[in-house]
Amino acid sequence: MAVYLLIHGSFQGGWTWKPTARLLRRAGHDVYAPTLEGCAERAAGLRPGISVTTCAGELAGFLFNEDLESVVLVGTSSGGLVVEKLAVLAPGRIGRLVFVDALVPQPGQQVRDIVERPAGAPPYESTSLARGPGREQLASGLFADFEPALKHWALERATLHPLGLSEPEPGELDAFWERAWEATLIRCRQSRNPPLSHQRATAERLGARWLEIESGHYPMLTDPEETARLLQV
């Protein structure tokens, strides 16, 4: 059986993996779905200095202290940034990488260069430390395809995302591309972001296995059975 470490994306916490994690555990796997610092139930700990590197460092310490090896490291959306950094910090503990509709910037790329926002889209809410869409923006945008009960559940848990996790510093993730990784990329066919062109470029450079799922940007919530199946491929 495998060990899975599931990394959430923006405006989320470990809660976003709950339906899929339940199925993976039922199949006999060990599954961890931590919440990154400053997010979800850890939002009260939002502080200056939270970054992709600090969160990846915390997770590297977790892997060490739990003696976890051959880990299937999974990232979705902006969680792909943390996967890039964590893989570099703890390469001996990672068995395989899986990017689920994830942002995986290459050297010289910034998240703002990848994500396509519709013209005229309202600006996100923001503070000095975090930003994100408001409740109505989520309901009619990122969560628009959710069933009513799931939408309500997710809206009650969504939080603004720490700025340092939304846009890494120049060069912060470059070391990821200096070595080879065993990787899988799962594209969500109904999702606008990250664009198909970005995911194709990621898969090509990594030599990653390419899989697709007929879902929006949050398949771990809307299609947990298929998501769990693909994570075990």
pLDDT tens per residue, the chain (233 residues)?
A: 999 999 999 999 999 999 999 999 999 999 999 999 999 999 999 999 999 999 999 999 999 999 999 999 999 999 999 999 999 999 999 999 999 999 999 999 999 889 987 777 788 999 999 999 999 999 999 999 999 999 999 999 999 999 999 999 999 999 999 999 999 999 999 999 999 999 999 999 999 999 999 999 999 999 999 999 999 99
- Per-residue model confidence (pLDDT) at position 117: 79
> What is the CB neighbour count within 10 angstroms for residue 226?
17
Nearest to 143 by CA among 212, 231, 222: 222
For 221, phi and psi rounded to 5 degrees?
Answer: -100, -45
Distances (CA, A) of 74 to 37, 43, 136, 143, 156: 17, 22, 29, 21, 24
Stated pTM of the model: 0.97
Rounded Cα–Cα distance for residues 216 and 161 (Å) = 20
Predicted local distance difference test score (pLDDT) of residue 28 = 98
Rounded to an integer, what distance in angstroms lies between the CA atom of residue 56 and that of residue 83?
8
Active-site position among 10, 51, 77, 166:
77
Annotation marks residue 70 as catalytic = no
Q: For position 123, what pLDDT does the model report?
A: 87
Cα-based distances in Å from 112 to 90, 103, 151, 168, 175:
27, 11, 27, 11, 20
CB 42 within 8 A of CB 15: no
Strand (E) or helix (H) holding 150 = helix 148-155
> What's the CA gap between 2 and 19, in Å, rounded?
18
Predicted pLDDT at 209 = 98
Closest C-alpha to 21, from 42, 11, 35, 39: 35
* Residue located via tokens 């570099």: 88
Give 3-114+129-231's CATH code, choosing from 3.40.50.300, 3.40.50.2300, 3.40.50.1820, 1.10.1740.10. Answer: 3.40.50.1820
